């Protein structure tokens, strides 16, 4: 794959992760209506789970943006990507677009960098 295209995909994925990760702290994108809104509200009420989720999105987002340890960031994002897609499939299929985009970008970047991951499998 063209290195410029790979860079664009990496930066787009990192921006999505940073925006949605930071939103969990600053709430600049409003929370969804119930039932998914009540689920998110329950996560917020725990006091620790939402910051943990936010940090688990922000750290790989930063790593991808600065192009450091991209292999680690991409592997880190696999369970997060799967969880995001499953959440939207279960609670809000109408807004699955960004979730699918994150999963597709993650899978594409893993495929492009497969030589880094060969030894894991």
Give the mean model confidence (pLDDT) for residues 10-22: 97
Q: Flag the least confident range among 39-43, 45-49, 63-67, 109-113.
A: 39-43
Q: Are the beta carbons of 18 and 65 closer than 8 angstroms? A: yes
**DSSP secondary structure string for all residues of the chain:** --HHHHHHHHHHHHHHHHHHHHHHHH--SPPPPTTHHHHHHHHHHHSSHHHHHHHHHHHHHHHHHHTSSHHHHHHHHHHHHHHHHHHHHHH-GGGHHHHHHHHHHHHHHHHHTHHHHGGG-
- The reported pLDDT for the residue numbered 75 is 96
pLDDT value for 32: 67
Q: Is the dihedral of CA 4, 85, 15, 70 positive or negative?
A: negative
Tell whether the model's pLDDT for residue 34 goes beyond 70.
no
What pLDDT is recorded for position 89? Answer: 93
User: Which pLDDT belongs to residue 46?
Assistant: 85
- Rounded Cα distance, 58 and 76, in Å: 11
Within its chain, how far is the Cα of 46 from the centroid? Answer: 21
Predicted local distance difference test score (pLDDT) of residue 29:
87
Percentage of the chain surpassing pLDDT 70?
Answer: 95
| pLDDT tens track for 54-66 | 999 999 999 999 9
């Amino acid at each position: 794959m063209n290195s410029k295209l790979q860079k664009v995909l990496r930066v787009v994925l990192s921006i999505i992760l940073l925006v949605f990760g930071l939103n969990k702290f600053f709430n600049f994108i409003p929370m969804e209506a119930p039932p998914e809104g009540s689920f998110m509200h329950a996560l917020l009420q725990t006091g620790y789970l939402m910051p943990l989720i936010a940090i688990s999105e922000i750290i790989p987002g930063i790593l991808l943006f600065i192009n450091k340890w991209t292999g680690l960031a991409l592997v880190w994002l696999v369970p997060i990507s799967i969880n995001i897609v499953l959440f939207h499939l279960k609670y809000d299929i109408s807004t699955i677009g960004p979730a699918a985009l994150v999963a597709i970008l993650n899978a594409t970047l893993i495929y492009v960098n497969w030589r880094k991951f060969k030894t894991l499998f």
